[in-house]
Copies of this chain bind each other. A is one copy, B any other.
């Protein structure tokens, strides 16, 4: 999941797809690589759940799966929240006794 987003080309593809669905050809256009390479990236994105695609006729159309993006975002948000709440508790602890500190928020 994070591994899927670890590659710059794949992030470009996700960025493109965030602006609307696209075919494999359209996805490949801004990238400087062969079509098979794009297919491989697409496969990784699909296996991670970030992207879905369906074939209609001879064109495959891809789109983002926002729920999957949500999962990654949540993981980060949780760790950051845990860290920040711990910082808050530490702040509270430091506020209670007067040692020699006075600056409370700066």
Residues of A at the B interface (CB closer than 8 Å) are: 2-3, 5-7, 11, 14-15, 17-20, 64, 66, 69-70, 72-73, 75-80, 82-84, 86
A15, B86: Cα distance in complex, Å? 13
Q: CB within 8 A of A66: which of B64, B69, B84?
A: B84
- Verify A82–B2 contact, CB threshold 8 A: no
Complex contacts, A6 vs chain B, CB 8 Å: 2-3, 5-6
Complex contacts, A20 vs chain B, CB 8 Å: 86
Please list the 6 inter-chain residue pairs (A to B) with the smallest Cβ-Cβ separation, ordered nearest first: A3-B6, A18-B79, A6-B6, A2-B5, A18-B82, A73-B76
User: Taking the nearest CB of chain B, how far is it from the CB of A13, in angstroms?
Assistant: 11
